[in-house]
Amino acid sequence: MTEHTRGDGLPGPEECRPHLGIERAAPRHEQMATNKVECNACPVLCQISEGRAGACDRYANQGGVLVRLDPVVWLRRGQVAGATAETGQSHLPRPDASPQAWTRRPTSQADDPDYFVTGIGASTTYPDYKPAPFIVASKVRGVDMVTVVTEGIFSYCSLKVKIDTDRFLGGEQSAVRYRGEVVGHVTTAEYGSQMLSLGGVHHLTGGSKKEGRMTLEAMQLLGNQQALEVDIDNGAKVVLQAGHAPVVNGVPESRMRVGCGSAAIGIFAQQWLGLCDEVVVVDDHITGVLSEHQAGRCLNIPPTGISIRGRKSTPGRYFQVANPGNGWGGTDISEPLSILEPWDPQVAWPGLRLLMTSTTGEHSAWYVLDEHLRPQASDMPQAVRQVVDRIGENCEPSLVSVLFLAGAGGSLRAGVTDNPIRLTQAIKQALVNVTMGGAPAYVWPGGGITLMSDVTRMPGNSFGTVPTPAIVAPIEFSMKLSDYQALGGHMGFVRGLDDSLSHGAWHNDGAPQKRIWHTPPDAQPWPLHQPPMLG
Ligand code: SF4
């Protein structure tokens, strides 16, 4: 890799470092006391007295110098089984340490370093016309690479929450409240899961101050993988925590349904053959009836004269057999026979064996028709019980999943390049790998840079806040050095890993605190190993 100097007239990092005043904007308030520093890392522009922190507790005035209080998080690849965090500088060898101190020396000349600078704690340079705080060179498989690292300040951002449960949490579009304030809504249910959309610009900035604060707090808690209790209007009280089971009205959920009632009939029909005359799988979406279902017909199961309440969709598949609720199969029923009409006496027969089960197998009952064709509860035969148990075995653990969705198509791009549209285009052309705290980010098609990341793949405490209000989240853009140059990158600010390690962000006064986040082997793609960039 070659040394680069700035060609845009701005001083490079070596020139800036001892002369911070060059890059730090003059205070907006000219009357500011001399013992204060103005933080220009977000639009609040706090004037911070010596020894005090700014409104977000992320920056402080230490001896007249603006410092970022949280450590910069570095990823270290494949060292331990399970992600752990270490704080402080002592765990990181200095660049001048013996070569053995590093798995591979983290210099721009060393090939495929095991370290990656994330945007967590990286700081920002607001407004973004200045280069990003870290523009880090490395060599990967013989290719000169660069990673542009910053903390993004996102007003346009939300959390998409997937809750693996059939239980009724609230009607679609119902408001979701945190500490009394509306912070989101129930959105379309997905297969086996209820979905919430939380946060978003309208709750952050479009309502009252309290609504904005509560939205911010809820998003930060969930993003940082902590527990959050929400109330859904005319629905449930739910405790959410990414990677954990949801707790619905005080009851931890354990099973995600095997499929809808129709799918369950399709999966298990053959196993019920000869053991049952009729099976009803109760489901809030589609309740399945074995003898009428195509799966039953294929097995030559004869009609039974059963009659189901609800709206018939196609043979053996019924909608709306009951209301949504926390009973059998996400309905409000606790008595399964309540969804049956009287049996057809021309078809049904005394002694007919009927299994009723939910889509998770948590609820099940066995009946035999008496001489009046009324179902009588009986002991379930062991062979039938085994199939019901198999439904449970096929259920996956119920989890809460949280994806952070944010728009990075604005001024943040100016920290990367002089010509922001080129960054957007390069991302769409798969020349740039975008990560958030090192976690893979899915970039939406269409305009802008709208991206989405699983918060459980990001290091702990990746999210912060500023009182504008907005969420602070890490973002990294990795690409070939030659592509970076082509898209108008800030080449004069490109530094090796060792230099970044020693000095921190280019506009910092001293070596920053660092935190190492170990990523388990193969836990997720290493940010610098994305084939499109290296291919
Ligand atoms: S609130 Fe904004 S201006 Fe104030 S310290 Fe935090 S980042 Fe700086």
56 lines ligand 1 (CB under 6 A): yes
Does the CB atom of residue 481 touch ligand 1 within 6 A? no
Length of the chain: 535
Q: Which atom of ligand 1 is nearest to the CA of 40?
A: 3
Token pair belonging to 172:
């679609």
Beta strands in 334-441 (DSSP E): 340-341, 353-358, 364-369, 375-377, 396-397, 400-407, 433-436, 439-440
Ligand 1 centroid to Cα of residue 199, in Å, is 21
- What's the CA-to-centroid distance between 413 and ligand 1, angstroms? 20
CA 46–ligand 1 middle distance (angstroms) = 5
Q: How far apart are CA 27 and CA 210, in angstroms?
A: 29
Predicted local distance difference test score (pLDDT) of residue 23: 43
pLDDT attached to residue 26: 56
Residue 434 CA to ligand 1 centre (angstroms): 25
State the closest ligand 1 atom to the C-alpha of 38, by its place in the atom list counted from 1: 3
**Cβ distance 286 to 260 under 8 Å?**
yes
424 CA to centre of ligand 1 in angstroms? 28
d(Cα 416, Cα 390) in Å, to the nearest integer? 54
Q: Is 58 in the pocket of ligand 1 (CB under 6 A)?
A: yes
pLDDT in the model for residue 282: 97
Q: Are strands 228-232 and 193-199 parallel, antiparallel or unpaired?
A: unpaired
Residue 44 alpha carbon to ligand 1 centre in Å = 6
Pocket residue to mutate for ligand 1, from 44, 61, 126, 150, most atoms within 8 A of Cβ: 44
Q: Ligand 1 within 6 A of 92 CB?
A: no
Q: Which atom of ligand 1 is nearest to the CA of 58?
A: 6
Spacing, Cα 259 to ligand 1 middle (Å):
48
pLDDT at 110: 60
Q: In which residue ranges of the chain is pLDDT below 50?
A: 1-24, 80-109
pLDDT at residue 67, as a whole number: 86
Token code pair at residue 277 = 């005359």
Other CB atoms within a 10 A radius of the CB of residue 237 amount to: 14
Give distance in angstroms: CA of 207 to centre of ligand 1.
22
Identity of the residue numbered 264: A
Residue 399 bridge partners (DSSP): none
Report how far apart, in Å, the C-alpha atoms of 252 and of each of 190, 394, 469 are.
20, 19, 33
Closest by CA to 269, choosing from 286, 287, 289, 284, is 289
63: left (phi over 0), alpha (psi -120 to 50) or beta: left
Rounded CA-CA distance 128/410 in Å is: 9
Q: How far is the CA of 31 from the centre of ligand 1 (A)?
A: 19
How many whole angstroms separate alpha carbon 366 and alpha carbon 368?
7
Of all protein residues, the one whose alpha carbon is nearest to atom 2 of ligand 1 is: 42
66 CB within 6 A, ligand 1? no
- Which numbered atom of ligand 1 lies nearest the CA of 472? 7
Tell me if 42 CB under 6 Å of ligand 1: yes
Tell me what pLDDT residue 509 has. 52
State whether the beta carbon of 247 lies less than 6 angstroms from ligand 1: no
Ligand 1 center to residue 121 CA distance, Å? 13
Which tens digits make up the pLDDT trace of 221-234? 999 999 999 999 99
The amino acid that residue 161 corresponds to is V
- Whether 78 contacts 114, CB under 8 Å: yes
